[in-house]
Amino acid sequence: MTVTRASAPRAAQAATQAISAAGLRKSYGDKVVLDGIDLSVPQGTVFSLLGPNGAGKTTAVKILSTLITADVGELSVGGHDLAADPQAVRAAIGVTGQFSAVDGLITGEENMLLMADLHHLSRREGRRVAAELLERFDLVEAAKKPAAGYSGGMKRRLDIAMTLVGGPRIIFLDEPTTGLDPRSRHTMWGIVRELVADGVTVFLTTQYLEEADELADRIAVLHDGKIAAEGSAEELKRIVPGGHVKLRFTDPDGYRSAASALRDAARDDEALALRIPSDGSQRELRSILDWLDSAGIEADELTVHTPDLDDVFFALTESAAAPARNNQPKEAVR
Ligand SMILES: Nc1ncnc2c1ncn2[C@@H]1O[C@H](COP(=O)(O)OP(=O)(O)O)[C@@H](O)[C@H]1O
Ligand SMILES: [Mg+2]
């Protein structure tokens, strides 16, 4: 589903991908965790790898950020081949792991200065960058206190601030909001949006469909070691059954004549409503409207129902044994 312009030269195309993986495989013993994964993330976009606990999200992040090696796969990050030049990859990226890198025994500011040292910033430059990031992440008041006393949301903000000390253009965020309260989660979403506004590429893993829907330009659903589906939130929503147009009538006679004209529609006689299967696309809506007009049907209310990402997730990951939610066939993206 990736759109590529045929006219663009190959090298230019590759250069616009901040992250790309082809045929990525990783096993632990005889447990296959990643079973041949392809992904590409254009510069300056948010890519979300979505999957439940144990799906292999952290494994993918660790591989792409050079912490562990893949068994097989052609991988490139920031224009550098992972196998040939891991040092260059490390210089281009920042990683905020699922488990915090914050040292609780020292203050937030000391954690920041430690990162500045690791990035070989001068003492003066380190202080400047630390102060700027502490301010940006609303940690000025807490900066002189031991990080052990920080709330979950503050620790997560400090973690990201530490990741940004080196000015990375590509950032991996592994489940940045897991365990956060709703307010801290929204703060984190704001931070991700700001990063993207600055042109940073974000690779984000999450278990939350809502989060991927909010933030990501593209979403890949990881299931059984494979990408079960990939696309924009809208594209993913369109592939699952459940989308429909609902027509409601107030006049029983109008309802009955519409129901006999629209034989394929599902009837709800009590609500005087008809459901017409639809992907919610403009094209389908137009043809439904044209058709209603030509049949002389005028509903009192017309609403479009698109499935949400939860529907997508269930449709893609439930085994075939699970009861179908309606009788439309399931489609796979790839
Ligand atoms: N170092 C390891 N040794 C053996 N198995 C591992 C190791 N790391 C992860 N796994 C297994 O790989 C699978 C995927 O783990 P992980 O990538 O952490 O998933 P997620 O981040 O999506 O929750 C799990 O079954 C996990 O138990
Ligand atoms: Mg994980």
CATH number assigned to the domain comprising residue 253: 3.30.70
Domain, as residue range, for 222: 43-59+82-102+150-237
pLDDT band for position 198 (50/70/90)? Answer: very high
| Distance separating alpha carbons of residues 149 and 142, to the nearest angstrom | 9
Specify if 288 maps to a domain. yes
Which residue's CA is the nearest one to ligand 1's atom 18? Answer: 58
**Residue 160 sits in the same domain as residue 94:** yes
Verify that 48 and 159 share a domain, yes or no: yes
Whether 182 is in a domain gets the answer yes
pLDDT value for 330: 37
Q: Are residues 215 and 233 in the same domain?
A: yes
The dihedral region occupied by 69, where left means phi > 0, alpha psi between -120 and 50, and beta the remainder, is beta
- Give residue 32's pLDDT band: very low, low, confident or very high (50, 70, 90): very high
Statement: residue 320 has pLDDT above 70? no
Mean pLDDT of the chain: 87
DSSP 8-class letter at 159 = H
Residue 318: pLDDT band with limits 50, 70, 90: low
Q: Alpha-carbon distance 222 to 229, whole Å?
A: 8
The ligand 1 site (C-beta within 6 Å) comprises 28, 33, 51, 53-59
pLDDT digits 0-9 by tens, 9-18: 444 545 579 9
What digits encode the pLDDT tens for the residues 262-314?
A: 888 889 999 999 988 887 788 988 988 898 898 888 899 999 887 776 777 77
Residue-wise pLDDT tens digits, 42-63: 999 999 999 988 999 999 999 9
Same domain, 98 and 52: yes
State the pLDDT confidence band at 8, using cuts at 50, 70 and 90.
very low
Q: Which atom of ligand 1 is nearest to the CA of 51?
A: 22
pTM greater than 0.95: no
The beta-carbon contacts of 23-26 under 8 Å, at least 24 apart in sequence, are 23/72, 23/73, 23/74, 24/60, 24/63, 24/70, 24/72, 24/73, 24/75, 25/70, 25/71, 25/72, 25/73, 26/56, 26/59, 26/63, 26/68, 26/70, 26/71
Q: In this structure, are 208 and 290 located in the same domain?
A: no
Distance 160 CA to ligand 1 centre (A): 23
The answer to the question of residue 180 being in a domain is yes
Q: Which atom from ligand 1 is nearest to the alpha carbon of 207? A: 22
Q: Which of 20-24, 117-121, 231-235 has the highest mean pLDDT?
A: 20-24
Same domain, 164 and 297: no
Q: What is the CATH number of the domain that holds 200?
A: 3.40.50.300
Cα 32 to middle of ligand 1, angstroms:
10
**Separation of CA 62 and ligand 2 centre (Å):** 10
Residues 52, 168, single domain; the answer is: yes
Which region among 62-71, 130-139, 236-245 has the lowest average model confidence (pLDDT)? 236-245
**Type of residue found at 252:** P
Q: What is the pLDDT of residues 94-151, one digit of tens each?
A: 999 877 789 999 999 999 999 999 999 999 999 999 999 999 999 999 999 999 999 9
Q: In this predicted model, what pLDDT tens digit does every residue of 160-193 receive, in sequence order? A: 999 999 999 999 999 999 888 888 899 999 999 9
Q: Give pLDDT, residue 15.
A: 56
Residues 158 and 232 in one domain: yes
Structure confidence at residue 321 (pLDDT): 34
pLDDT of 322 higher than 50? no
Least confident among 77-81, 89-93, 273-277 = 273-277
